[in-house]
Protein backbone atom coordinates (compact mmCIF):
# COMPACT_ATOMS: atom_id res chain seq x y z
CA UNK A 1 0.00 0.00 0.00
CA UNK A 2 1.34 3.44 -0.93
CA UNK A 3 0.98 5.95 1.87
CA UNK A 4 2.97 8.78 3.42
CA UNK A 5 1.37 8.20 6.83
CA UNK A 6 2.90 7.07 10.12
CA UNK A 7 1.05 5.68 13.13
CA UNK A 8 2.02 6.38 16.74
CA UNK A 9 0.60 4.31 19.57
CA UNK A 10 0.53 5.36 23.20
CA UNK A 11 1.14 2.38 25.51
CA UNK A 12 -0.61 2.55 28.87
CA UNK A 13 -4.38 2.47 28.35
CA UNK A 14 -4.12 1.98 24.58
CA UNK A 15 -2.11 -1.20 23.96
CA UNK A 16 -2.37 -2.65 27.47
CA UNK A 17 -4.59 -1.87 30.43
CA UNK A 18 -1.73 -0.75 32.66
CA UNK A 19 -3.48 2.60 33.27
CA UNK A 20 -5.40 0.80 36.00
CA UNK A 21 -2.18 -0.52 37.59
CA UNK A 22 -0.70 2.99 37.63
CA UNK A 23 -3.88 4.14 39.41
CA UNK A 24 -3.72 1.34 41.99
CA UNK A 25 -0.05 2.10 42.73
CA UNK A 26 -0.63 5.87 43.04
CA UNK A 27 -3.66 5.26 45.23
CA UNK A 28 -1.64 3.02 47.54
CA UNK A 29 1.01 5.75 47.81
CA UNK A 30 -1.61 8.43 48.61
CA UNK A 31 -3.30 6.17 51.18
CA UNK A 32 0.06 5.57 52.89
CA UNK A 33 0.51 9.32 53.11
CA UNK A 34 -2.94 9.68 54.70
CA UNK A 35 -5.26 10.72 51.85
CA UNK A 36 -7.07 9.26 48.86
CA UNK A 37 -7.27 10.03 45.14
CA UNK A 38 -10.35 9.61 42.97
CA UNK A 39 -10.76 8.12 39.49
CA UNK A 40 -11.54 11.63 38.20
CA UNK A 41 -8.23 12.87 39.59
CA UNK A 42 -6.55 9.86 38.01
CA UNK A 43 -7.73 11.01 34.55
CA UNK A 44 -5.41 14.00 35.04
CA UNK A 45 -2.48 11.65 35.73
CA UNK A 46 -2.84 9.54 32.60
CA UNK A 47 -0.01 10.13 30.15
CA UNK A 48 1.78 12.31 32.73
CA UNK A 49 5.37 11.49 33.75
CA UNK A 50 6.17 9.78 37.05
CA UNK A 51 7.74 12.91 38.57
CA UNK A 52 4.95 15.25 37.50
CA UNK A 53 2.32 12.73 38.70
CA UNK A 54 3.83 12.62 42.18
CA UNK A 55 4.09 16.42 42.36
CA UNK A 56 0.40 16.65 41.40
CA UNK A 57 -0.70 14.00 43.91
CA UNK A 58 1.21 15.69 46.75
CA UNK A 59 -0.50 18.99 45.85
CA UNK A 60 -3.90 17.29 46.04
CA UNK A 61 -3.06 15.78 49.42
CA UNK A 62 -1.45 18.99 50.65
CA UNK A 63 1.64 17.02 51.61
CA UNK A 64 5.20 18.25 51.25
CA UNK A 65 8.19 15.89 51.14
CA UNK A 66 11.93 16.42 51.28
CA UNK A 67 13.85 15.63 48.10
CA UNK A 68 14.96 12.28 49.56
CA UNK A 69 11.42 11.35 50.61
CA UNK A 70 10.16 12.32 47.16
CA UNK A 71 12.67 10.01 45.47
CA UNK A 72 11.82 7.25 47.94
CA UNK A 73 8.08 7.53 47.21
CA UNK A 74 8.71 7.48 43.45
CA UNK A 75 10.79 4.32 43.80
CA UNK A 76 8.13 2.71 46.02
CA UNK A 77 5.38 3.53 43.54
CA UNK A 78 7.40 2.03 40.71
CA UNK A 79 8.16 -1.13 42.76
CA UNK A 80 4.44 -1.59 43.41
CA UNK A 81 3.65 -0.96 39.75
CA UNK A 82 6.29 -3.50 38.67
CA UNK A 83 4.72 -6.07 40.99
CA UNK A 84 1.34 -5.52 39.32
CA UNK A 85 2.80 -6.02 35.84
CA UNK A 86 5.18 -8.85 36.73
CA UNK A 87 2.94 -11.57 35.30
CA UNK A 88 2.00 -9.67 32.17
CA UNK A 89 2.27 -11.48 28.82
CA UNK A 90 0.68 -11.29 25.37
CA UNK A 91 -2.77 -12.02 26.84
CA UNK A 92 -2.68 -8.49 28.31
CA UNK A 93 -2.81 -6.86 24.87
CA UNK A 94 -6.17 -5.12 24.62
CA UNK A 95 -8.70 -6.52 22.09
CA UNK A 96 -8.29 -5.28 18.52
CA UNK A 97 -4.82 -3.80 19.06
CA UNK A 98 -2.78 -6.64 17.52
CA UNK A 99 -5.11 -6.77 14.51
CA UNK A 100 -4.59 -3.03 13.87
CA UNK A 101 -0.81 -3.15 14.34
CA UNK A 102 -0.50 -6.26 12.13
CA UNK A 103 -2.55 -4.61 9.38
CA UNK A 104 -0.19 -1.62 9.37
CA UNK A 105 2.97 -3.75 9.52
CA UNK A 106 1.76 -6.03 6.69
CA UNK A 107 1.20 -2.94 4.55
CA UNK A 108 4.64 -1.49 5.35
CA UNK A 109 3.18 1.51 7.16
CA UNK A 110 5.69 2.84 9.73
CA UNK A 111 4.59 2.31 13.33
CA UNK A 112 6.00 3.95 16.47
CA UNK A 113 5.41 3.81 20.18
CA UNK A 114 5.08 7.18 21.93
CA UNK A 115 4.79 6.67 25.66
CA UNK A 116 5.61 8.67 28.79
CA UNK A 117 6.51 5.46 30.61
CA UNK A 118 10.06 4.48 31.49
CA UNK A 119 8.78 0.89 31.70
CA UNK A 120 7.51 0.88 28.10
CA UNK A 121 10.28 -1.21 26.54
CA UNK A 122 9.98 -3.97 29.11
CA UNK A 123 6.19 -4.10 28.68
CA UNK A 124 6.57 -4.35 24.88
CA UNK A 125 9.04 -7.20 25.34
CA UNK A 126 6.79 -9.02 27.81
CA UNK A 127 3.82 -8.81 25.46
CA UNK A 128 5.87 -9.80 22.40
CA UNK A 129 5.15 -6.56 20.54
CA UNK A 130 8.57 -4.91 20.58
CA UNK A 131 9.75 -6.15 17.19
CA UNK A 132 6.62 -4.84 15.43
CA UNK A 133 7.53 -1.18 16.04
CA UNK A 134 9.86 0.67 13.68
CA UNK A 135 10.80 2.91 16.59
CA UNK A 136 10.08 3.20 20.30
CA UNK A 137 10.11 6.58 22.05
CA UNK A 138 9.42 6.47 25.78
CA UNK A 139 9.94 8.30 29.05
CA UNK A 140 13.68 7.68 28.86
CA UNK A 141 13.96 9.60 25.59
CA UNK A 142 12.13 12.84 26.40
CA UNK A 143 12.72 15.89 28.56
CA UNK A 144 9.25 17.36 28.33
CA UNK A 145 6.26 15.31 29.44
CA UNK A 146 2.86 15.20 27.68
CA UNK A 147 0.94 17.52 27.06
CA UNK A 148 4.18 18.76 25.53
CA UNK A 149 4.32 17.19 22.04
CA UNK A 150 8.04 16.26 22.28
CA UNK A 151 7.48 12.47 22.49
CA UNK A 152 5.34 12.42 19.34
CA UNK A 153 7.58 14.83 17.41
CA UNK A 154 10.62 12.64 18.14
CA UNK A 155 8.63 9.58 17.00
CA UNK A 156 7.61 11.33 13.75
CA UNK A 157 11.16 12.37 13.03
CA UNK A 158 12.47 8.84 13.69
CA UNK A 159 9.80 7.46 11.35
CA UNK A 160 10.77 10.16 8.83
CA UNK A 161 7.09 11.12 8.51
CA UNK A 162 5.79 14.72 8.58
CA UNK A 163 3.92 15.43 11.86
CA UNK A 164 0.77 16.37 9.93
CA UNK A 165 0.85 12.88 8.35
CA UNK A 166 0.99 11.12 11.71
CA UNK A 167 -1.96 9.47 13.41
CA UNK A 168 -1.79 9.18 17.22
CA UNK A 169 -3.81 6.75 19.36
CA UNK A 170 -4.13 8.07 22.93
CA UNK A 171 -6.20 7.34 26.03
CA UNK A 172 -5.23 10.47 28.00
CA UNK A 173 -6.27 14.10 27.92
CA UNK A 174 -2.60 15.12 28.13
CA UNK A 175 -1.69 12.86 25.19
CA UNK A 176 -4.56 14.07 22.99
CA UNK A 177 -3.45 17.65 23.69
CA UNK A 178 0.13 16.71 22.80
CA UNK A 179 -0.97 15.13 19.49
CA UNK A 180 -3.12 18.15 18.60
CA UNK A 181 -0.29 20.56 19.45
CA UNK A 182 2.01 18.51 17.20
CA UNK A 183 -0.54 19.02 14.40
CA UNK A 184 -1.17 15.26 14.19
CA UNK A 185 -4.44 13.38 13.71
CA UNK A 186 -5.59 12.49 17.24
CA UNK A 187 -7.65 9.38 17.90
CA UNK A 188 -8.93 9.07 21.46
CA UNK A 189 -9.40 5.61 22.96
CA UNK A 190 -11.88 5.79 25.80
CA UNK A 191 -14.75 8.00 26.88
CA UNK A 192 -15.90 10.75 24.48
CA UNK A 193 -16.79 12.97 27.44
CA UNK A 194 -13.19 12.78 28.68
CA UNK A 195 -11.39 12.84 25.32
CA UNK A 196 -13.59 15.38 23.53
CA UNK A 197 -10.58 17.26 22.15
CA UNK A 198 -9.57 14.28 19.98
CA UNK A 199 -10.56 14.33 16.30
CA UNK A 200 -12.11 10.87 16.58
CA UNK A 201 -12.95 8.89 19.73
CA UNK A 202 -13.54 5.12 20.00
CA UNK A 203 -14.37 3.27 23.21
CA UNK A 204 -11.69 0.67 22.40
CA UNK A 205 -9.66 -0.78 19.53
CA UNK A 206 -12.25 -3.43 18.76
CA UNK A 207 -14.41 -0.61 17.39
CA UNK A 208 -11.69 0.52 14.97
CA UNK A 209 -12.10 -1.54 11.83
CA UNK A 210 -9.63 -2.00 8.97
CA UNK A 211 -11.82 0.18 6.77
CA UNK A 212 -11.35 3.16 9.15
CA UNK A 213 -7.59 2.64 9.22
CA UNK A 214 -7.48 2.43 5.42
CA UNK A 215 -9.45 5.70 5.26
CA UNK A 216 -6.85 7.37 7.51
CA UNK A 217 -4.11 6.16 5.17
CA UNK A 218 -5.73 8.07 2.32
CA UNK A 219 -6.55 11.38 4.13
Q: Enumerate residues 6+ apart whose C-beta is below 8 A from 46.
A: 12, 13, 19, 22, 171, 172, 173, 174, 175
Contact residue for ligand B16 among 6, 8, 22, 184 (CB under 6 A) = 22
Subset of residues 46 to 75 that bind Mg ion, contact rule: CB under 5 A: 47
When asked if residue 149 is in the footprint of ligand B16 (CB under 6 A), the reply is: no
Interaction partner, residue 127 (Mg ion, ligand B16, none; CB < 5-8 Å by kind): none
When asked if residue 45 is in the footprint of ligand B16 (CB under 6 A), the reply is: yes
CA angle 30/26/127 to nearest 5° reads: 165
Subset of residues 93 to 122 that bind ligand B16, contact rule: CB under 6 A: 115-119
When asked if residue 43 is in the footprint of Mg ion (CB under 5 A), the reply is: no
Near ligand B16 by CB under 6 A, which window of 33-41, 45-53, 179-187, 206-214? 45-53
Interaction partner, residue 139 (Mg ion, ligand B16, none; CB < 5-8 Å by kind): ligand B16
Q: Which of these is catalytic: 10, 68, 89, 141?
A: 10
Subset of residues 153 to 212 that bind ligand B16, contact rule: CB under 6 A: 172
Specify whether 12 is catalytic.
Answer: yes
Decide: residue 208, CB within 10 A, 0-12 exposed, 13-18 middle, 19+ buried: buried
DSSP class per residue in 130-164: GGG-SEEE-TTT-SS-TTSTHHHHHHHHHHT--GG
Subset of residues 170 to 199 that bind Mg ion, contact rule: CB under 5 A: 171-172
* Residue whose C-alpha is closest to residue 113's, from 168, 184, 165: 168
Q: Are 111 and 124 in contact (CB under 8 A)?
A: no
Q: Considering the complex, what minimum distance in angstroms separates the CB of residue 38 from ligand B16?
A: 15
When asked if residue 43 is in the footprint of ligand B16 (CB under 6 A), the reply is: no
Q: How far apart are CA 179 and CA 11, in angstroms?
A: 14
Specify whether 17 is catalytic.
Answer: no
The catalytic residues are 10, 12
Amino acid sequence: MNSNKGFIFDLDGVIVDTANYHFLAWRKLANNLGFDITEAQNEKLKGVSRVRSLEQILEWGNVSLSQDEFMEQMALKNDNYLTYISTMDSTAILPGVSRAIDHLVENNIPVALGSASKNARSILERTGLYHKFNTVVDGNDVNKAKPNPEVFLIAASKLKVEPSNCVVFEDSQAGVKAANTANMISIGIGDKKVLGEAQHVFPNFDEIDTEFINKLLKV
